[in-house]
Amino acid sequence: MLGAYGPTPCGTSAFSSALAGGLDACGVTVNVVRVADAVPSGSARVVGELVVDSTASAAACAGLLNSNDVVIVHHDEGRHGGPDAAQLLDIVEALEVPTILVVHEHAKSATSQQRSDLERLAAPAAQVVVLSESAHTRFCADVRVDRRKVLTIPHGATLPPRGPIAKRNRPTMLTWGELRPGKGVERVIDVMGDLRQLNGRPRYVVAGQTPLAADAQAYRDACVERVRSRGLTDAVYFESGCRTMAGLSALVRSAAVAVLPYDSTDQAASAVLADAIANGRPVVATAFPHAVELLSTGAGIVVDHDDPDALTAALRSVLTQPRLAGGMAAEARRLAPAMAWSVVASSYRAAAYSLLSRREKSA
């Protein structure tokens, strides 16, 4: 496997680490060539590191990867600090074993160069994996590729342990993940003046670290000031600590509703949305493609991005109608098992075995 990997703090790293664990549980030996960063990995799975912009490192990594039966390559168009497409292409073209290219993000606003880069990466790959049906539709429409090798395997999630859910004194609306521009929490802040008056005095919790980037810090400061200026300091809380996976799951499960008020109109895969469903929570989200797709059977409510009245009504409905909220939670729990990393990893394993079988038949 080639890509970002723990402890690198990014979504692709979390994905590849969880997928590796799922594959290991399926009986697959996983060797990782990790994109190097400032923090070394202590994982026994890591057999090498790719140094960005190093031709020699790319060649060495290709050699390491060729000692495996199948290689999974993670590509995230929106990730900063990783290998550029040219370096990744050098590695992919040097591979002598079947390759599965996992496309984590391909935006509607992708440049012609980004589309060209993706086409060149997809061409030598034996299989291309996208993470949702909406991503599949966009990818096939936007990228010149043999559609027969494009496969949808949904984004995985960690299912919580069975057991009682901690009840909070005040109903909690929860948004979590890195706090940065585009998170959209200001949408919820702006409607809290109405929602705080409901029975139980609902509160809005924003949980997650703020990246060191200047725009992220400025965004957090602006959100905090927005809360203060509206007199909502007793109704909106920012939790900036880093929680363990178990701690985050407990927080999510205790929430009355998961809120994903994102600015994006083209996000085709969301780890937070997958985790919300896995933890059996009702969801209220803006109308980005993954939310429209995943919530279409009733696990949540989708609202237009610029409709505060619709957002208020959706949140009020979930907070004040137990039967509605219970039905959403039940639908989320119905969907959750198919998203377990063990199930997702089994799909990758099946794809890998299929590629090996085809290779043997053509030999």
For the stretch 88-118, pLDDT in tens is 999 999 999 999 999 999 888 888 998 999 9
Determine the Cα–Cα distance for residues 280 and 181; give it in Å rounded to an integer.
27
Per-residue pLDDT at 79: 64
Contacts with 320 (C-beta within 8 Å, 6 or more apart), sequence order: 198, 199
When mean pLDDT is compared across 16-20, 163-167, 316-320, the lowest value belongs to: 163-167
Identify the architecture of domain 2-156+340-362 in CATH: 3-Layer(aba) Sandwich (3.40)
For the stretch 173-201, pLDDT in tens is 999 999 999 999 999 999 999 999 999 99
Determine the Cα–Cα distance for residues 292 and 301; give it in Å rounded to an integer.
9
Per-residue pLDDT at 40: 87
Q: What angle do CA 29, 35, 40 make, to 5 degrees?
A: 85
Domain boundaries, the chain: 2-156+340-362, 172-339
Share of the chain above pLDDT 90, in %: 83
Determine the Cα–Cα distance for residues 101 and 106; give it in Å rounded to an integer.
13
Higher pLDDT residue, 166 or 65? 65
What band does 17 get if pLDDT is binned at 50, 70 and 90? very high
Tell me: pLDDT of 49 over 80.
yes
The reported pTM is 0.93
Tell me: pLDDT of 80 over 60.
no
Average pLDDT, integer, range 78-87: 73
Average pLDDT, integer, range 255-281: 97
Per-residue pLDDT at 127: 98
What band does 81 get if pLDDT is binned at 50, 70 and 90? low
| Omega cis (within 30) before 171 | no
When mean pLDDT is compared across 127-136, 149-158, 233-242, the lowest value belongs to: 233-242
Query: Does the fold of domain 172-339 match that of domain 2-156+340-362?
Result: yes
Q: What's the mean pLDDT when you consider all of the chain?
A: 94
For the stretch 120-141, pLDDT in tens is 999 999 999 999 999 999 999 9
Average pLDDT, integer, range 237-244: 85
Identify the architecture of domain 172-339 in CATH: 3-Layer(aba) Sandwich (3.40)
